Amino acid sequence: MSSRYGRNESLIMLSASGPIGVFDSGVGGLSVLRHIRAQLPDEDLIYFADSGHAPYGSKSEAFVIDRSFRIADFLLSQKIKALVVACNTATAMAIHLLRDKYPDLPIVGVEPGLKPAAAKTITGIVGVMATERTLSSNKFHVLHQTLNDRTGVHFIMQPCPGMADLIEHAELDSEPIHALVRRYLTPLLEQKADTVVLGCTHYPFVRHVIEKIAAESGCPDLRIIDTGYAVARQLTHLLDIYAIRRGKTDCASAMQAYTSGDPKTIGHLIARLLQTTMPVAYISL
């Protein structure tokens, strides 16, 4: 492995007043950001949408690792006190390397959600909707095998090529997104899955489509696992451990977004997905 990914020798100074950095291959991580904002309303947040290189699910491992380090380095230059890898693919490919390089920095990743799904299923059959890259990662394979052996739950892996890309382009209610969700969800329902894991942070934004198609297919009580809440809860836990959680102040918390894509598009999506406005600046890294 290149020395680029070696341990960072300089000490990272963490301040309670510093912002929290969050990144994803695109806008999917906003589904995690909204949970962070809800649980930690007093914290300043910086979001990086790497939309110029989205989606990561179709990219090589080396590419995802390189982008993850470039973005982490940029966010550290903004004096962040914690990093959230709000992308399933980047978590699977790069988070262990980020933790090795930055041992002093609290880093939270997105877990696939298999464990809570195994606890919720009644039929013992769980569908996993994710990118091909996430499903093929060693981290995912080990977790899947461990839970399968321990619980006896049968996990059906469903790669969903194209879904994240449509969501990235704000197709949340279009006929193409309905067609893709139906294509990927139907085989899971036909195999009696009563629980579905959303294994990509983009997918919660089409949860309403998943629920609609499940109901039309005779499965109105489908359990859907979105791990954004758990990520925010773990982040809160780490901030408390490090004693860097920001207390209440008279100043309103601030949010700033950066993107390697088109700032206007990202700004529009933030307004639509989060019902708020946020300044967005372009940076290529």
**pLDDT tens-digit profile of 95-140?**
999 999 999 999 999 987 899 999 999 999 999 999 888 888 877 8
* pLDDT beyond 70 at 66: yes
Where do the H-state alpha helices sit in 152-217? 163-168, 175-190, 207-216
CA distance 235 to 231: 6
- Which among 192, 227, 193 has a CA at the least distance from the CA of 207? 227
Over residues 2-13, mean pLDDT: 58
Task: Report the DSSP beta bridge partners of residue 24.
Answer: 49
Please tell me the predicted confidence (pLDDT) of residue 55: 84
Q: Does residue 160 have an active-site annotation?
A: no
Helical (H) or strand (E) element with 115: helix 114-120
Q: Are 45 and 276 in contact (CB under 8 A)?
A: no
151-180: average pLDDT: 93
The least confident of 94-98, 241-245, 270-274 is: 270-274
pLDDT at 202: 92
What one-letter code names the amino acid at 97? L
The pLDDT value recorded for residue 139 is: 78
The pLDDT of residue 140 is: 83
CA dihedral sign, ordered 277, 200, 91, 40: positive
Mean pLDDT (whole number) for 243-256: 86
Reduced to 3 states (helix: H, G, I; strand: E, B; else coil), residue 20 is strand
Do residues 157 and 184 touch, judged by C-beta distance below 8 A?
A: no
pLDDT tops 80 at residue 34: yes
Mean residue pLDDT across the chain: 91
Long-range contacts of residues 246-251, Cβ cutoff 8 Å, at least 24 apart:
246/16, 246/17, 246/40, 246/42, 246/43, 246/44, 247/16, 247/42, 248/42, 249/42
- Reported as type and span, the H/E element at residue 154 is strand 154-159
As to burial, measured by CB atoms within 10 angstroms (0-12 exposed, 13-18 middle, 19+ buried), residue 70 is middle
pLDDT at residue 229 tops 70: yes
Q: Which CATH class is domain 114-226?
A: alpha beta
Q: Which of 194, 261, 191 is nearest to 25 (CA)?
A: 261
Confirm whether pTM is higher than 0.95: no
Structure tokens at 207: 């949860």
- Percent of residues, the chain, with pLDDT higher than 70: 96
Distance CA 212, CA 177 (A): 12
Instruction: Give the pLDDT confidence score for residue 3 in this predicted structure.
Output: 38
pLDDT for res 54: 85
| Per-residue pLDDT at 8 | 61
Contact 104, 133 (CB under 8 A): no
Examine the pLDDT at 249 and tell me if it is beyond 80: no
Mean pLDDT of 11-38: 93
Query: Residue written as tokens 């007093």?
Result: 42
- The pLDDT value given to residue 11: 67
Least confident segment among 61-70, 81-90, 247-256, 261-270: 247-256
Instruction: Place 1 in a pLDDT band, splitting at 50, 70 and 90.
Output: very low
Per CATH, 3-110+229-282 and 114-226 having the same topology is answered yes
> What CATH number is given for 3-110+229-282 in this structure?
3.40.50.1860
In the chain, domain spans = 3-110+229-282, 114-226
Instruction: Give the H/E segment covering residue 39.
Output: helix 30-39
The pLDDT of 28-37, averaged and rounded, is: 94
CA distance linking residue 205 with residue 269, whole number of Å: 11
Count of CB atoms situated within 10 Å of the CB of 119:
11
Question: Environment class of residue 121 by beta-carbon count within 10 Å: exposed (0-12), middle (13-18) or buried (19+)?
Answer: buried
Decide: 69 and 98 in contact? Cβ < 8 Å.
yes
> What's the pLDDT score for residue 180?
97
Q: What are phi and psi of 40, to 5 degrees?
A: -130, 65
Name residue 196's beta-bridge partners.
127, 224
